[in-house]
Amino acid sequence: MDRDQTEKDDEASGLGRPTLKTLAFMTGLGVTTVSRALKDAPEIGAETRRRVQLVAKQIGYRPNRAGVRLRTGKTNVISLVLNTEREIMSFVSDIIYGVSEVIADTPYHLIVTPYSRSQDPLDPIRYLVETGSADGVIISRTQPNDPRARYMLERGIPFATHGRTDMGLIHPYHDFDNYAFATEAVRHLAGIGRRRLALLAPPVELTYHSHTLNGFTDALSEVGASEIPFNTVSVDHSIEQIRMRTAQLMRRDVRPDGFVSSAAAATLAIVAGIEDAGLKLGRDVDVVSKQSSDLLHLFRRELLVVNENFRLAGAELARSVLGWIGGATPGSLQSLSKPTGVLAYRRPD
């Protein structure tokens, strides 16, 4: 790329924005030297690179993304595709935080691509791929046979899934071990004398539903406890629906004395339903729930919790996508977080 083209691309970024010429004037260097210093070119001395990059940071210089794309074929964009109606805010904010931490010292930027329940989940993926809007993609709500993953694999688009598929195809992912979560939850409830257990599961179409259900049923057999079916709702149902179904269940003669809940927001509704039925948490029934923040014990100290770290998930997903873009093999970019045990409330010191 010649110097004139560099200047044209940079000046196209708009009036008032710092350009390569601005940096050259402020550092007393040539435009070509400044451009190479920003790219860590080895032929530019370390002190010069450091000085140029420091000034660029101080004045808020950003390369024109359109110009970068024309020169390199890259967008320097990672897209996080989210269902805005299904994802709870703590999940969204923590995932974004984790991704942002990893890409902060890279040329990459994060954009969030939302879609709603009325859309085909493949629509935003098609848009990103067909318009070349991103160099890499992160998706959630992963299904066993996920058409989004297959579509991107077929087109060679670097991506990572939050959750695993079951298609026999290799791709990067980060997942939480929901089989282990459900197993540990059942064992803990059995250990405190609970024998009739109900599971509030993920929606059946998502991969982690089967992981959770298999862990729950295997552990029931292991400890000799029985299941009280609670499959008319999932964690995707509304708070009011879960609350109503829980109250109905808890008014029966044969009712659960323990719950395993796959989401913290749903756990609030379970507790409300238990109390609607005139029963007391910690005395008549215990609940083990996943959580991504320390809020459940502020709500009810009797709750038992298992922590899932969505910030870690975001960071691992970002590393996976960047790794694939950088040439790593997809199979080497897979990670699984293990639960660290069931936690009861501890009074602060």
Q: What's the CA gap between 65 and 206, in Å, rounded?
A: 36
Q: 10 Å Cβ neighbour count for 100?
A: 17
The proportion of the chain whose per-residue pLDDT surpasses 70, expressed as a percent, equals: 91
pLDDT at residue 15 above 50?
Answer: no
CA distance 261 to 109: 35
Q: Is the dihedral of CA 106, 76, 84, 308 positive or negative?
A: negative
More reliable by pLDDT, 345 or 15: 345
Please state, in angstroms and rounded to a whole number, the distance separating the CA atoms of residues 143 and 206: 5
Q: Exposed (0-12), middle (13-18) or buried (19+): which is 140, by Cβ within 10 Å?
A: buried
3-state percent breakdown (helix, strand, coil) of the chain, nearest 5 = 45, 15, 40
- pLDDT bin (cut points 50, 70, 90) of residue 64 is low
> Given a cut of 60, is residue 261 above it in pLDDT?
yes
Q: How far apart are the first and last CA of the chain?
A: 62
- Of 70-84, 89-103, 317-331, the one with minimum mean pLDDT is 70-84
Of the pLDDT bands very low, low, confident and very high (cuts 50, 70, 90), residue 193 is: very high
- What would the pLDDT profile of 100-111 be if each residue is shown by its tens digit? 999 998 989 999
Strand ranges in the chain using DSSP code E only, listed in sequence order: 77-83, 109-115, 136-139, 159-162, 173-176, 196-200, 226-227, 258-261, 286-291, 304-307, 334-337
At residue 6, the pLDDT reads 46
Place 3 in a pLDDT band, splitting at 50, 70 and 90: very low
> What is the Cα–Cα distance from 63 to 15, expressed in whole angstroms?
14
Closest CA to 163 of 218, 129, 205: 205
Q: What is the pLDDT of residue 8?
A: 46
| Lowest-confidence region among 56-60, 170-174, 318-322, 327-331 | 56-60
Mean pLDDT of the chain: 90
Residue 309 predicted with pLDDT over 60: yes
Q: What number is the average pLDDT over the span 235-251?
A: 97
Euclidean distance between CA atoms 150 and 152, whole angstroms: 6
Identify the pLDDT of residue 25: 85
Could you tell me which residue, 178 or 83, shows the higher pLDDT? 178
Six-digit token string for 95: 């995932």
185 is written with which tokens?
Answer: 């939850």
Instruction: Give the DSSP H or E segment for 306.
Output: strand 304-307
Instruction: List the one residue out of 193, 255, 190 whose CA is nearest residue 218.
Output: 190
Lowest-confidence region among 16-20, 151-155, 272-276, 308-312 = 16-20
Q: Which two tokens stand for residue 267?
A: 């756990």
Q: What is the pLDDT of residue 65?
A: 59
Measured distance CA(278)–CA(250) in Å, rounded: 9
Tokens describing residue 120: 């085909």
Nearest C-alpha neighbor of 249 from the set 204, 198, 289, 193: 198
Residue 293 CB neighbours (<10 A): 14
What does the pLDDT read at residue 18? 83
How far apart, in Å, are the Cα atoms of 140 and each of 33, 83, 171, 282, 318? 42, 8, 14, 34, 13
Contact (Cβ atoms closer than 8 angstroms) between residue 146 and residue 87: no
Q: Is the pTM of this model over 0.85?
A: no
Position 2 confidence tier, pLDDT thresholds 50, 70, 90? very low
